[in-house]
């Protein structure tokens, strides 16, 4: 079972969730509103294509960043060993600032908080195993182009674009649920 978070008009998976109704959205729900309406350990994979850049900067009342809240929620609805895949525009690419609805701008290193538990441990969040964090210099951000028009994608992929364009991240929910690091750095120090 695959959940597409922020599915828009074309769903990648069995269940689509978006805050706007469409035939692809099996569930109309704001992903900032946690918990999502699914039991624990429901899905084998969660995907989110070109959505995280639309999230407002900031976090909840406790100061937990929205991105960490969402990734933690994906963790909850994933089975052990399940994967979270997402792609976002690269901050140095053309599309990052080319859409007035974009609220966040990313470079690959920014996501290392999600898999690197040894650094900046004051951020409370689940620690994932990293499968990959890749930068593409062209425009494979539309998963449906890659899936349904692979020849187009292959031709465009050979063109000599010079700027990073999109970041792809794949994370795995490791079998052992390491607790989120606490916020109090001083505790036990």
Question: By the criterion CB under 6 A, which residues form the site for ligand SAM?
Answer: 6-8, 10, 18-20, 30-32, 49-51, 54, 142-143
Nearer to ligand SAM, 7 or 127 (CB): 7
Minimal distance in Å, beta carbon 177 to ligand SAM? 25
Q: How far apart are CA 87 and CA 50, in angstroms?
A: 6
Q: How far apart are CA 135 and CA 151, in angstroms?
A: 20
Nearest residue by C-beta to ligand SAM? 8
Minimal distance in Å, beta carbon 167 to ligand SAM? 14
Neighbours of 30 (CB within 10 A): 11
Q: How far apart are CA 70 and CA 108, in angstroms?
A: 18
Q: Are strands 27-28 and 78-89 parallel, antiparallel or unpaired?
A: unpaired
Nearer to ligand SAM, 38 or 127 (CB): 38
Neighbours of 108 (CB within 10 A): 16
Nearer to ligand SAM, 102 or 113 (CB): 102
Q: Could you check whether the bond before residue 47 is cis, i.e. omega within 30 degrees of 0?
A: no
Q: Are strands 166-172 and 129-136 parallel, antiparallel or unpaired?
A: antiparallel
Minimal distance in Å, beta carbon 33 to ligand SAM? 8
Minimal distance in Å, beta carbon 56 to ligand SAM? 8
Minimal distance in Å, beta carbon 100 to ligand SAM? 12
Burial class (CB in 10 A: 0-12, 13-18, 19+), 129: middle
């Amino acid at each position: 079972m695959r959940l597409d978070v922020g599915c828009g008009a074309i769903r990648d998976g069995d269940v689509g969730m978006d805050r706007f109704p469409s035939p692809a959205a099996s569930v109309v729900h704001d992903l900032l509103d946690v918990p999502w309406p699914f039991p624990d350990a429901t899905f084998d994979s969660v995907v989110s294509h070109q959505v995280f850049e639309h999230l407002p900067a900031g976090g909840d009342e406790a100061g937990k960043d929205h991105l960490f809240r969402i990734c933690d929620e994906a963790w909850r609805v994933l089975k052990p060993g399940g994967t979270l895949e997402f792609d976002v525009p690269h901050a140095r690419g053309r599309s990052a600032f080319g859409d007035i609805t974009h609220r966040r701008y990313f470079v690959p290193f920014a996501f290392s908080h999600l898999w690197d538990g040894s650094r900046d441990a004051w951020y409370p969040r689940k620690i994932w195993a990293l499968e990959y964090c890749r930068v593409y210099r062209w425009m494979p951000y539309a998963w449906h182009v890659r899936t349904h028009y692979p020849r187009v994608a292959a031709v465009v992929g050979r063109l000599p674009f010079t700027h990073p364009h999109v970041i792809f991240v794949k994370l795995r929910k490791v079998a052992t649920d390491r607790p989120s690091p606490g916020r109090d750095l001083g505790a036990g120090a």
